[in-house]
Amino acid sequence: MRGPSPAPLVRARGRAPRILGLGVLWFGCSEEGADRDAPAAIAPCTHVVSLESFTVIRDALEDPWDHRPAAPKCLDWAVHVEPIGEEAALSTATGPCPYMTATAPTLVAIPSGTELELRWFHFALTATATAEAHAAARVAGHPVLDATIPIPSESGMVQTRWVAPEELPAGAAVHLHLHNHGDNSWAFLGLRTPCE
């Protein structure tokens, strides 16, 4: 005697339901693939660039700011990483480095819509005459900060929040720019997702 036929896993009548079923499966795989390709959300309080990775730009053609002096002075030791309180900072002494543009790559891909916080502390600003300091930053060419601080000024924090307008790949260029008259000290505390 012939035994009962094995039951089909999916019951379908005719060709149309089968084609529809394959179409549903295909769209499902496409959406899953898109999710896998999108960068993951970045956890709060995560720095997206390493302070140790910043290098001072020496080639005028690589400087995105157009008011670079013809031969800016910036001694190597004037830009360095050091502890400031309980945090690390990229410190700049503007006596030996009155004009500085530095760059570093992002550590991670940054999803579109990600909010980032930039913090740049300065000690009391002084000069022999009234002047201004210019602090600016860009991420993948997008302006993040463009601040002018009068000199003299008390110590303070230049702080801003910025939302990525598009998805940015890991390795996107971060540029910092500081133009300060007088022998002053600045401490860049980083670019991170907000902690709260």
Domain range annotation of the chain: 51-192
Q: What pLDDT sits at residue 171? A: 98
Share of the chain above pLDDT 90, in %: 76
Give the pLDDT band of residue 181 (cuts 50, 70, 90): confident
Residue 123 corresponds to which tokens in the numbers above?
Answer: 């000690």
Contact 135, 147 (CB under 8 A): yes
Q: What pLDDT sits at residue 14? A: 41
Q: What is the pLDDT of residues 94-152, one digit of tens each?
A: 999 999 999 999 999 999 999 999 999 999 999 999 999 999 999 999 999 999 999 99
Is the pLDDT score of 4 beyond 70? Answer: no
Could you tell me the strand order of the sheet in which 55-56 lies?
A: 55-56, 99-105, 173-180, 131-139, 142-151
Q: Which of 27-31, 85-89, 150-154 has the lowest mean pLDDT?
A: 27-31
Contact 111, 173 (CB under 8 A): no
Is the pLDDT score of 191 beyond 50? Answer: yes
SS3 state of residue 153: strand
Helix ranges (DSSP H) in the chain: 15-37
What DSSP designation does 15 have?
H
Q: What pLDDT sits at residue 147? A: 98
Q: For 151-169, what is the mean pLDDT? A: 97
Write out the E strands in the chain.
55-56, 79-84, 87-93, 99-105, 115-122, 131-139, 142-151, 156-163, 173-180, 185-192
The pTM (predicted TM-score) of the whole model is: 0.81
CATH architecture of 51-192: Sandwich (2.60)
Q: Which of 66-75, 94-103, 183-192 has the lowest mean pLDDT?
A: 66-75
- In Å, how far from its chain's centre is CA 82? 20
